[in-house]
Structure 1
Amino acid sequence: MQADEMHPQAKAAVKRQAYMPLPHGRLGVKFARLLTRPVMWVQNRNPPPVGATADLAIPGPGGDVDARLYRPDASERSPTVVFFHGGGFVFGSIETHDRLCRRLVRESDCAVLSVDYRLAPEHPFPAAVEDAYAAVEWVAANPDAVGGTGDVAVAGDSAGGNLAAVAALMAAERDGPALAYQTLVYPGVGVDEDAPSVREHAGVVLSEADLAFFADAYYGSDVHRRNPYADPTNAADVSGVAPATVLTAGFDPLRDGGRAYAEQLVRDGVDTRYVNHPDMPHGFLTMPGVDRARDAIAALGDDLAAVLDAH
């Protein structure tokens, strides 16, 4: 499940991130969010080009939800991937995942709608889930608004991978939109402090304190953590969900939870492709200077294109 050593490019990226530890507590969170804005402005200069972009407001249960639509071609219809960013349900935004979404558009020939769902601790569970599912329903009901063909998939990384999996589960259980696919990138599901991946790799990108803070901020109580819409590994049956790709990383505390959910999908008869990158850490798809990220995004794009007939 993991290589003997982390890839040198990833190791260098992790070392750079270590100078900016994640804050805990409401004031620290708010300050860190403000600090990311100029960083993202610099990082997102000269982004990978796509056919068109548009900032949208989607009606949600707590008010309008901001989103950004990336299209491969401004004049042609395409399948739509509803994307949810990572960040422990506390951090992250459309801007932090702008380059990833653009690359996914280029590799899949699908449109990507990146959703700026409400964040904890200001908006704990189920706010993010409600926004995520509202976005999926809106895209499915309004293909003309996104230049869509009517084919819809979901995708997300880390906390966003959790939301993508939950949206797929909700769609199946509520007779909702017929999703074509779900792409779950090192998803934050089934996290167990006693799992080998947590014991061995907590402190690599995500510490035990980070995991505990995110869980407290988002779930609030153990009662919520046992809800399948908070963590789909709690679901008794996932047989009706969309086919999936589940990606994990060898040096990631979340690795074992993601692998366990992939196994759960397979047991329940869901067509599932599981891929592990043994020498990569959590978050490597958005780490500058890690060449493997490009290859991994290309493979994810190929999976989506094959199912959605985007090519």
Structure 2
Amino acid sequence: MQIHPELAAALAQLSGLPPIDYQTMPIAGIRQVLDHLPMPPSGLEMHEVRDLSMGSPESPLAARLYRPTADDNMPMVVFFHGGGWCIGTIDTHDGLCRHIALLTGMNVCSIDYRLAPEHAFPAPLNDAYAATRWVAAHAHELHSDPSRILVAGDSAGGNLAIATCLKARHDQWNGICGQLLLYPVCDARADSASYSLYGDMPLLSSTNMQQMWAYYHPAQPVSPLASILENESLAGLPPAVVVTAELDILRDEGNELARRLAVDGVEVMHLQAQGMVHGFASFSTALPHVASILRDACTRLQLLVGTQESTA
């Protein structure tokens, strides 16, 4: 149970933060701490970074567009940030979105979806799906190719990405051509071996994940649009790159997601990051080893959608 030395040193710098307990602390206080963590600056220049507003004037949805190059008609990655559906912003994931754009050569649109518990399931998913459809409909205005729309996310954002594909399948909308899923939340049952093995690791504990589920989906039973592995079939979903972390409570459900996708005939590339804990990708702009893992994942995503390999 050895955390990679680079990541362990970075995590040690966060050790002075006050302890976070989702079961006893108000969510506003948790956001005040975690949404303002001193994350490493990206230092990654884009051709364009632009804030957007989508949806209706009555229900606007904020987003941020990242364009790594001046090229038009590029693939577009619609990105949903992690944070257990209840924390996180487009600002907390600014560096990661820039890095994905740089490594893939694709445009990225990061979505500021509504958060639980104020907006429980299905509100965040409805935002994610509506945003994906909006981006596809306005692709040309965003210098993007409407035939090459992908979804991506980390943790709870990965869950929203998969669920967005499930809603698209239900609506018989074939507008999504790929997925990048970084240690996604997949199973509300939370009974895998990795939950027991790594329940007290940094950045995501089993007790905090339990409370995140309670915030996001308080009603029972849990919908298979939230607890992804409870779907009878994942057939017909877009090709996926699934990245799991060796020392993460979500490792086993992510591994099972990759297996289920393959069994159901979905093209999938699975990468398990050794020595990594949950949330490691957020350190990619500061840690060379983490950057190499993200580069590997992005190269696999390029292969799935048939784009040229990035030289970044």
Give the structure-1-normalised TM-score: 0.91
Match status 1:176 vs 2:173: yes
Once the 2 structures are TM-superposed, how far is the Cα of residue 47 of structure 1 from its aligned partner?
A: 2.7
1:294 maps to 291
1:274 maps to 270
Distance 1:59 1:261 in 2: 31
Identity of matched residues, %: 33
2:220 maps to 222
Moved more, 210-219 or 140-149: 140-149
Aligned residue among 2, 5, 22 for 2:2: 5
Helix, strand or coil: the match of 2:93? helix
Distance 2:23 2:50 in 1: 33
Once the 2 structures are TM-superposed, how far is the Cα of residue 8 of structure 1 from its aligned partner?
A: 1.2
Aligned residue among 154, 160, 163 for 1:163: 160
Report if aligned partners of 1:166, 1:231 keep a CA contact under 8 Å in 2: no
Report if aligned partners of 1:169, 1:232 keep a CA contact under 8 Å in 2: no
Once the 2 structures are TM-superposed, how far is the Cα of residue 39 of structure 1 from its aligned partner?
A: 4.1
1:31 maps to 29
Q: Deviations over 1:91-132 (max 9, x none)?
A: 111111111110111111100000011111111110110000
Q: Deviations over 1:130-159 (max 9, x none)?
A: 000001111111112211111100000000
Report if aligned partners of 2:188, 2:227 keep a CA contact under 8 Å in 1: no
Give the structure-2-normalised TM-score: 0.90
Judging by fraction of residues, say which structure has more helix: 1
Once the 2 structures are TM-superposed, how far is the Cα of residue 18 of structure 1 from its aligned partner?
A: 4.3
Relative to structure 1, the CA distance from residue 60 to residue 22 in structure 2 (aligned partners, 3 Å threshold; closer, same or farther) is: farther
Distance 2:64 2:7 in 1: 28
Helix, strand or coil: the match of 1:48? coil
Match status 1:95 vs 2:55: no
Relative to structure 1, the CA distance from residue 26 to residue 52 in structure 2 (aligned partners, 3 Å threshold; closer, same or farther) is: farther
Aligned residue among 193, 199, 216 for 2:196: 199
1:65 maps to 61
Once the 2 structures are TM-superposed, how far is the Cα of residue 232 of structure 1 from its aligned partner?
A: 1.7
Q: Which amino acid aligns with 1:219?
A: H
Once the 2 structures are TM-superposed, how far is the Cα of residue 218 of structure 1 from its aligned partner?
A: 0.6
Helix, strand or coil: the match of 1:155? strand
Report if aligned partners of 2:188, 2:213 keep a CA contact under 8 Å in 1: no
Distance 1:256 1:102 in 2: 28
1:260 maps to 256
Relative to structure 1, the CA distance from residue 255 to residue 280 in structure 2 (aligned partners, 3 Å threshold; closer, same or farther) is: same
Aligned ranges 1:134-149 → 2 under 5 Å: 134-149=130-145
Count of aligned pairs = 304
1:185 maps to 182
Relative to structure 1, the CA distance from residue 18 to residue 124 in structure 2 (aligned partners, 3 Å threshold; closer, same or farther) is: farther
Distance 1:198 1:11 in 2: 20
Distance 2:233 2:220 in 1: 21
In structure 1, list runs of 5 or more residues that go unmatched: none
Relative to structure 1, the CA distance from residue 222 to residue 14 in structure 2 (aligned partners, 3 Å threshold; closer, same or farther) is: farther
In structure 2, list runs of 5 or more residues that go unmatched: none
Distance 1:122 1:70 in 2: 28
